[in-house]
Structure 1
Amino acid sequence: MKRLLASTSVMRQTVTLAIMIIASSVSDAFQIHHLASREEFIAKGRSPLRRTSSSSSALGMATWSNGQAIREYQEFLASGMELMDIGKSEIDMEDDGPSVIVKSSNPSSVTALTDGIVALGKGTDLLITPGTSLPASMGDKPSYPIYITIPPYELKSFIQNLDDEWKGRSEDFVFFSGGKICGVVEPILREFGMCRESMTQVVVGFSLPKPSAAGITRKPEDLSCNIGTDANGEEKWAGESATCGKWNGAVASRLSANAIRCKTVFYREWRRAMWERALYDAVWNVVGAVREEPTDHADVAMFFELEASDMMWEIANNLRGGLAVTLMYGFEDRLFSMAEMRGKDEPCELTDEMFDFVQNVFPGRNRMLLEYLNYAKDQRGLLQGVNVPPVPSQLSELPSKIRQGNLRADGNI
């Protein structure tokens, strides 16, 4: 009976994925030929996108010639057979409870993420450093979430140096992505075979306040924003947290108990949400950081909209061709809305230690992004400790709107 239930569940998941692929194809075609409604953008006070037919044609060729989507579908079917073999019909939805939180062993590398996850708990969590023996149980449960809150630039070393005890508990690890603190860790996890359906991952859609002068850490707050309703009258949200994997229920429960929205999704949908957030983190920070005056995320949305929009679409095209990731329709509206509603006083920053996890993570030759990054290094004195890739077919000079620094949409310098 268990094998029959497992078989039925796998068939249901397979049909669901097939529907998602068809819907994605329809969405892709719609985005290629109808990238944005002029009336919609004018109604929002925004300019229509500047696209060319040649880019759309190249985009289509890149999408359908990429074999990664087929390979991932085959892996999905293989994972379904594994579930059948163990008689398990679906991933369990576990509740929140006492957990282990892993912080960096270097005191200077302990990030606001560590303090934030501790603050979201109920005071029953155990805070440890890598290499410490894991408890046999937490709250009388032999299995519990292990939140990995070390910074991205220490993550590879952490995984490489796991001992047998920790390796045996890797299914309980919880990894974070999104924002200037967490960035994109997919390349590292994929290298060690940790990008899979059962692995718990979280897109951070909440604030991570730094400790005050008195050493008191405020609890993280929800950063999601309601941006209206869709054609069916359902609410649309931007910037919300998302989680997938074994402990997705525990993560969502912990966040919702602190008034933070969090959706639980399958890995492939989570991956789309993660890359959408990565797009925001890269574009908004680089477009704003090259200015002569301090610029926040809301400023980028208001004054440098066309630059941010063009850069987003260039990167999004390469995501589809390079990683077989198609962002959900309406991503541009969501990201601009998030910047307008949550980006005030959020400074645009480029840092050496996070460069490889925020800006230098996208596939393809993203010319516009590289132009801005090289300008930031050569003319603004930023990113001096990293090797910024050269601009493809290097131009003798950058566009005047970059060189002039602060030419805003309202005509003021």
Structure 2
Amino acid sequence: MAATKVTPSIIVGGGRVGKALLEMGGGHDLLVKRGELVPIDFPGPIMVCTRNDDLDAVLQSTPQSRWNDLVFFQNGMLEPWFESKGLVDADQVLAYFAISKVGERPVDGITDTNPEGLTAAFGKWGSAVAARLHAGGLSCKVLEKEPFQKQMLEKLIWISAFMLVGARHPGATVGIVEKDFRSEVGSLIGELAAAAAVEKGIVFDEGMEDRLCAYARAVSHFPTAVKEFKWRNGWFYSLSEKAIAQGKQDPCPLHTSWLKELKIVQ
């Protein structure tokens, strides 16, 4: 079988994901580190593997004529940020693989409910991203906007629910949350899914809790902590704040009470 042809790309960010993507390439990629400018004349996708809070700086370092080549690998809810920058149909990747430290091989998020793998790409460079991940031995499917958005929201629910429940039980990995605190995480998944479905006007596929718990088993060693609040749990908390300001009931009462319990919000 012939080796998959990997499109030479610019990779922004030399952390765990950026280094892994670089290793999957054919040696023709360009790594752009923090503070460096993205060149205008290097064709192909620009894979952004930085922290969410560095995204403004990445845009400032990228010529505007190249913005439509940006591919975002970040976790969390990016839609409000995309809209604020005029990047409404930005390319995105949901990376369902775990890399415990720089230089280690990624562990694919292949689960017993989704043996074909969960990683998904959307946008004009979707196929190029999938080819690169396949070359690295990882799964990746290319989705249209609506199914991609549903899966993005599921991944947001996964990270928001597992990290918050884990934070209530210091030292718990996502595997321990799934095994020992399944009813807590299950209740939270149900609550967040219902709120997201109403907000976005979508219907999720049946069996979400089973899918998300299966992914937790696949990356069971992953530690838990509530991070990047604005991009993760903060989106659900903003739905609560909006409802309460309108005199309605909190759509995520459990989520709100646990955030308060941990003093993440007042």
- TM normalised by structure 1 equals 0.56
Contact 2:107 2:219 in 1 (8 A): no
Amino acid at match of 2:197: R
> What corresponds to 2:52 in structure 1?
152
Partner Cα distance (1:222, 1:246) in 2: 23
Structure-2 residue corresponding to 1:359: 233
User: What's the CA shift for 1:302?
Assistant: 1.7
Instruction: Say which SS state the counterpart of residue 262 (structure 2) adopts.
Output: helix
Look up the match of 1:214.
none
Task: Report sequence identity in percent.
Answer: 25
Q: Which consecutive residues of structure 2, in runs of 5 or more, have no partner in the other structure?
A: 241-251
Distance in 1 (alpha carbons) for counterparts of 2:70 and 2:134: 20
Q: Which has the larger radius of gyration?
A: 1
User: What per-residue deviation string (whole Å, max 9, x for no partner) do you get for residues 62-105 of structure 1?
Assistant: xxxxxxxxxxxxxxxxxxxxxxxxxxxxxxxxx631111122xx
CA deviation digits over 1:254-310, x for unaligned, max 9?
Answer: 01111111111101111111110110101011111112x421112211221121111
Q: Cα distance, 1:169 vs. partner?
A: 1.1
Greater length-normalized contact order (CA 8 Å, ≥ 6 residues apart): 2
Aligned residues: 249
TM alignment of 1:5-404, pairs within 5 A: 96-103=6-13, 111-129=15-33, 132=37, 134=39, 136-137=41-42, 143-159=43-59, 161=60, 166-178=63-75, 183-196=76-89, 199-211=90-102, 217-227=103-113, 236-237=114-115, 240-291=118-169, 293-343=170-220, 345-351=221-227, 354-362=228-236, 364-365=239-240, 366-377=252-263, 383=264, 388=265, 390=266
Runs (4 or more) in structure 1 with deviation over 4 Å come to none
Q: CA RMSD in A?
A: 2.1
One-letter code aligned to 1:171: N
CA 131–298 in structure 1, closer or farther in 2 if over 3 Å, else same = closer
TM-score (norm 2): 0.85
**Residue 248 (structure 2) aligns with:** none
Contact 1:238 1:338 in 2 (8 A): no
Give the letter for the 1:346 counterpart: F
Code of the residue aligned with 1:207 in structure 2: it is A
Deviation at 1:208, TM superposition (A): 2.3
Aligned amino acid, residue 333 of structure 1: D
Distance 1:239 1:305, change over 3 A: farther
How far residue 223 of structure 1 moved from its aligned partner, in angstroms, is 1.6
- Which structure 1 residue ranges, 5 or more long, are not aligned? 1-94, 104-109, 138-142, 212-216, 228-235, 378-382, 391-413
Counterpart Cα distance in 1 of 2:162 and 2:116 = 15
SS at match of 1:243: strand
Name the CA distance, whole Å, in 2 between partners of 1:226 and 1:194: 35
